[in-house]
Structure formats: C-alpha cells, structure tokens
Amino acid sequence: MKEVTGGVCAVRGVRAYGIKEGKNGLAVITGIGSSASAGVFTRNKIIAAPLVVTREHLKSQQLSAIIANSGCANAFTGEQGLSDAAGMAGIAADRLGVPVGLIGVASTGVIGVSLDMGWIKDRIDSVIAGLSDTAEGSTAAARSIMTTDTRPKEFAIELVSGVRIGGIAKGSGMIFPDMATMLAFIYTDADVPYEMLNSCLKRAVDRSFNMIVVDGDTSTSDMVLLTATAEMGIKMKTPDEPGLSEPEFQEGLDCVCIELAKMIARDGEGAEKFIEVRVTDAKTDGDAKLAAKAIVRSPLVKTAVHGEDPNWGRVIAAAGYSGADLDPDRISLAITGVTVVDRGGIVDDAVVDMSGTDIEIAVDLGLGACEAVAWGCDLTAGYVRINADYTS
C-alpha cells in the first residue's frame, strides 16, 4: 500500500470539479460504471434534507454522481428543503443524463435557510464542463465544499493489487456561521459488491471519522459516501480465482478514512495543535474507544495541550469519567513519548516537551489487550472567536 497523488481523481473512472464564490460553492463528482455505493449518515435526530434524499437513493445500492454545495446546509427547512434537495439531484441527473435515483446530494453551511436553487442552476453547467480526472479536478471539488476549513482535504492510496482508494472531505468543527458538518466522498476502482462495501465502510468510519472530536457537537449533515467504480477490472478474490481480498481492501479503506479524518481534526476551528490519543491494554474495544474519545474531547485536556502543560491529572480524570473500566494502580501514561505515570506511580523527574504541533497522548490501562486511537485538536481563544464573534 502506498500513498498516491490525485485525491479522489486518483481512482480510475472518477471525475470531479467544483467552484467557489465567496461562502458558496458547488461540486460534482462522477464515477463511471459505478458498481456499488454505500453511505454512513449522522446519528443526530435532526437530519438535513439532503441526507434524507441520499439515503433514499442509496436503496438502489448505486450512485452515478454526487452533487454537493457549501454555504447552505438545507437543514431544518421542512418540505421545501426536501423538494430542493430532490431538485438538486434532478438538475445533476438532467445534465449528466442519468436517472435521478442514482444521484447523491450533500449540503453544508447555514441551517434554517433555504437553498438558492437559481444560484445552483446558473452554475451547474460550468461545473459539469469542468469535470476532470486530474488532481486539479479533485482539489477544485475539495475546495468548493470548504466552509470554515482552512485547506482542502484529499487523500489517495494504491494497494499492492493496484486497486486505488481515494477521497475528499471537509469539516472544521462547525460551519460559518451555524453548524458542524463533516462530509467525505470516497471512491475505489475495485469491483466490490454492495454488502462488502457497506460493511467495510461502517468499520472504517468507526475507526476514523467516528474517532475525531473537535468540539463534541454532532452535525445534522454528517455524511460519508463510498462508491466502487470497478474501473480497475479487478474482482474480489474467491477460493478459485485470484483478486482483491477483503482484508486488503479494508486496510486500504481504513487508511484513507483515517488520513481524511486526521486532516479534519488537524484543521479544527482555531486549532494550533493536533492531538492523537492512543489507549492500549483496555479490557474491551468499547472501553478503549470510550477512554480515547473522552480524553480527546475534554476541554481541560485540550486547553492543557494548548498551554503546553503536560497536565496528566486531566488526562487520567477524563479516562476516569469516560465509563471505561480502569484501575488507578495499573494505569500508565506517556505524553509525546515520555512516561509521566507508570502503573499508578507518578514519575517525578519526567520532562515533557510539548512545544511541537503534534501531541501524542498514550494511555495504557493495563487491564486487557484492546486498543483505540482518537484524534482532535487544542482549544484556543481562536475557537471562541470564530464561534462567538459572529452575530447573525
């Protein structure tokens, strides 16, 4: 497995493009010959209109294209919102000449405001005209879905078998001015059947996008879509035939999802430092996840990292209230590689240098063999400024 350039367009059969005008953007991604598509959606009970439409379209287990806009989330917009989201799909279907039921729709931006359908109609032709299978196409699409993001997010890999997996994502904690949204559109040129695509995506999302925390707020619009174009001409391995094995595909998909998720955490609103929390030797996988996410979410830990203070008490307290099983006499803790607590004992002469931008917190619970990793960022006055100093 190796990293390749080109983002989502590194995948054979994928074309992408997007435009950005001030806060508003429009992107289209197409995957010719798409064999199967799967999606994972927000668990928020308030669900934005595009998610309702895309979830319905995914019942066909196939998406030929995705249309996405930034600047307006089309969330909490009632019947009008559903009609507009379906309309966006219709516009894309019409111009691309594919059935409307094969279009995925995503929106990110202000909530409670209806889409400006005229703006989209006026620009769809130029976006479609720009569709390209080059790295520039991927970057243009990634840039057009940015909101408070400070940089476009794209990543691609090539597996040993030659299969490629690539994607773009956006997300920065919350979107100017209203709402956190995490979107990721991932493609592979392998020919992966729907059921496998779906189960691999759920596992990968659990290990990546579900393990990042910027502020603990769950958006109404979070969505990850994965489409297999089958353009590589490689089938899944069978007992009789060589091909792509499920573990190889899962490993590659995990890698792409984790890299995109880390880009989102690193670009958290106001973030100056990136935090990786690794919990090992937990009794269960669930315990490891609970502890890792509680630590990376803790405002105390986030402000301590910001202040470059190796404040291990805050880390241990967060593990303590996470719900994970733990024993104070067995816990060990290292910050950026320096052990500060060793099996419950405080290491008095530990010297921790937290001046770097990447801070690693490693917690060994000493109770089992399960582990989890979570990613986040520090909490800064910049975060408060971005989210408080705007008045609607």
Quickly count: other Cβ atoms within 10 Å of residue 307's Cβ: 13
Among 3, 46, 193, 246, binds a second copy (CB under 8 A): 46
| 366 contributes a contact to a second copy by CB under 8 A | no
Question: What interhelical angle do 285-297 and 299-306 show, nearest 10?
Answer: 60
The answer for residues whose C-beta is within 8 angstroms of residue 17's C-beta and 6 or more apart is 27, 28, 127, 128, 130, 131, 132, 137, 140, 141
* Nearest distance from C-beta of residue 387 to a second copy, angstroms: 4
| 300 contributes a contact to a second copy by CB under 8 A | yes
* Nearest distance from C-beta of residue 182 to a second copy, angstroms: 13
Specify the DSSP class assigned to residue 190: S
CB 88 within 8 A of CB 106: no
Sign of the torsion angle spanned by Cα atoms 372, 378, 382, 388: positive
CA distance 360 to 312: 12
- Which of these ranges, 28-36, 50-58, 125-133, 342-350, lies near a second copy under the rule CB under 8 A? 342-350
* Nearest distance from C-beta of residue 14 to a second copy, angstroms: 32
CA distance 287 to 322: 8
Nearest to 105 by CA among 221, 256, 209: 221
Strand 14-21 with 24-31, pairing: antiparallel
| 339 contributes a contact to a second copy by CB under 8 A | no
Among 211, 319, 335, 362, binds a second copy (CB under 8 A): 319
Number of residues that bind a second copy (CB under 8 A): 63
181 classed as catalytic: yes
Phi, then psi, of 57 in degrees rounded to 5 = -65, -30
Among 178, 189, 267, 276, binds a second copy (CB under 8 A): 178
Residue 190 vs 326, nearer CB to a second copy: 326
The answer for residues whose C-beta is within 8 angstroms of residue 209's C-beta and 6 or more apart is 40, 182, 184, 222, 224, 257, 260, 261, 264
Residue 1 vs 300, nearer CB to a second copy: 300
Map residues 120-159 to x or -, x wherever contact with a second copy holds by CB under 8 A: ----------------------------------------
Q: Interaction with a second copy in 247-286: which residues (CB under 8 A)? A: none
Q: Interaction with a second copy in 156-175: which residues (CB under 8 A)? A: 174
* Nearest distance from C-beta of residue 219 to a second copy, angstroms: 7
- Which of these ranges, 63-71, 106-114, 237-245, 367-375, lies near a second copy under the rule CB under 8 A? 106-114
Map residues 61-90 to x or -, x wherever contact with a second copy holds by CB under 8 A: --------------xx-x------------
CA distance 255 to 1: 9
SS3 38: strand
CA dihedral 82, 142, 197, 105 (to 10 degrees): 10
Specify the DSSP class assigned to residue 111: S
Residues forming the site for a second copy (CB under 8 A):
43-46, 75-76, 78, 110-112, 174, 177-180, 215-220, 297-300, 303-304, 306-314, 316-321, 324-326, 328-329, 344-346, 378-381, 383-385, 387-392
Q: Which residues are catalytic?
A: 181
